[in-house]
Amino acid sequence: MKPDSISAYFQSLSPQDFALWGVKQLAYIKPVAQGEDIENIHYALHGADGRLLTVEDDISHILQTAHTHSLRPLRLQ
């Protein structure tokens, strides 16, 4: 798809369709601090729709969970 086609495609989606885009394929990994201790980083796995799927202290467990459920993980900073 060309960049103009991609832009047109997303602009043509209804808000509901846009919210559901990627729900069954994508997941987001986000580092999160547990409580007040910013040194104690955990990783949250969210579905493309934003719902929290799991939190783990080891990113390899998050990646394994995503792959087990056929989700392509993307990392958020």
Task: Dump pLDDT digits (tens) for 17-61.
Answer: 877 777 778 899 998 987 777 778 899 999 888 889 999 999 999
Contact between 43 and 59 under an 8 Å Cβ cutoff? The reply is: yes
33 is a domain residue: yes
12 is a domain residue: no
**pLDDT category of residue 76 using cuts at 50, 70 and 90:** low
Give the Cα separation of 49 and 58 in Å (integer): 23
**pLDDT category of residue 77 using cuts at 50, 70 and 90:** low
**Structural domain harbouring 50:** 20-75
40 is a domain residue: yes
pLDDT value of position 49: 83
8 is a domain residue: no
Q: What is the maximal distance between C-alpha atoms in the chain?
A: 46
The total number of structural domains that make up the chain? 1
Tell me the β-bridge partners of 45. 29, 54
Contact between 66 and 48 under an 8 Å Cβ cutoff? The reply is: no
Place of tokens 């201790």: 37
Single-letter amino acid code for the residue at 75: R
56 is a domain residue: yes
